[in-house]
Amino acid sequence: MDDPRLKILEKLKETKGFVSGTQLATELGVSREAVWKQIKLLQAMGFPITAKPRQGYRLEGWPDRLFPAAVLPLLRGKWGRPYYHYPQLQSTNETLKQMAASLPEGAVVVAEEQAGGKGRRGRSWHSPPGGIWFSLLLRPAVHPLALLSLPLVLSLAVVKSLSGFFPELDWALKWPNDILCRGKKLGGVLVEVAAETEQVHWAVAGIGINVNISSFPPELEGRATSLELCRGKKSCRPCLLAAILERAEELYSLWCREGFAPLAKDYQALFLYRGRRVRVEEEGRFWEGKAEGVDDKGRLVLRLDDGSLRLLLGGEVTLREVRNSYEKENCN
């Protein structure tokens, strides 16, 4: 954390009252005038810092922007360094893929909005200002087939992070990569990989979360939601992003060591369609049956009508038993 602004923010964040300019200057090894200049820059960036003569400086809150100065002081793990922030990108995944060869594991690319955000199966992803749109570079020492469960690991990490902040909300996961809140889609994970038959070179995981978004285009109304709509108020995006990175790093490390098995029980508890009749499209073929959950490799366990089990590696899942209009609107 060499940037003096980050050091100043770290000190102000951990202090409830005022911090004197003399103390900050001594700890940073600079003049009081240099501290004052950095404070002015932070104020211009949106940090609400109160300055009082003979008392010093006090941080009154945190801005709703994802620039490095707002996120890096909140990080507790290794991930998020280096951290690249852009006002707008076509796609954070595409940008990080172009940079992947020269970056370490844990590097992050963040955009305030995406003009060409991507979802699974070539779909576009609505990515306006107010969301958390980022991509994470991973270099797992696993067999390429193990990567099939990586979206489940990361989506589980997101829900664990968000539910820690907002336990009152109804959280669920739709296999293999959707994050739902109160029955509607709140976010998702898209993993793209560079690998050979036996070796993974890198994986870029794009994660999108609707946070401070108050409305959606007509084609998404009824299917998509945001934390703002679910809570009735805005959330601190830098706080959420830092927490997600920390929890994702924790679950990813466990997954790299032991596979998906230790995480399967937690995923099962959040699995939206467990015990429900579903239809799964897998590479142009269709299967119908009862979704019994996921196995220790992250595969969907489907009980077919003839009683046999089918383990699915991927596909598009839709609910077949619709009990009421609410489920029909929110679960498909």
Q: Which residues are annotated as a binding site for biotin?
A: 91-93, 114, 185
Those residues with Cβ within 8 angstroms of residue 48's Cβ, 6 or more apart along the chain or in another chain:
59, 60, 61, 63
φ and ψ at residue 115, rounded to 5 degrees = -85, -25
Polymer length in residues for the chain: 332
Q: Which of 159, 218, 167, 168 is nearest to 189 (CA)?
A: 159
List the end-to-end C-alpha distance of the chain, in Å, as a whole number: 45
Residue ranges for the known binding site are: 91-93, 114, 185
What is the DSSP code (8-state) at residue 149? G
Tell me how far apart the alpha carbons of residues 257 and 326 are, in angstroms, rounded to a whole number.
41
Q: How many CB atoms lie within 10 A of CB 165?
A: 14
Q: How many CB atoms lie within 10 A of CB 98?
A: 11
What is the DSSP code (8-state) at residue 235? -
Those residues with Cβ within 8 angstroms of residue 204's Cβ, 6 or more apart along the chain or in another chain:
93, 96, 97, 100, 135, 136, 137, 138, 191, 192, 193
* Contact (Cβ atoms closer than 8 angstroms) between residue 157 and residue 248: yes
Output b/e per residue, 7-45; b: 16+ Cβ within 10 A.
Answer: bbbebbeeeeebbebebbbeeeeeeeeebeebbeebeee
Tell me how far apart the alpha carbons of residues 3 and 45 are, in angstroms, rounded to a whole number.
15
What is the DSSP code (8-state) at residue 304? E
What is the DSSP code (8-state) at residue 271? B
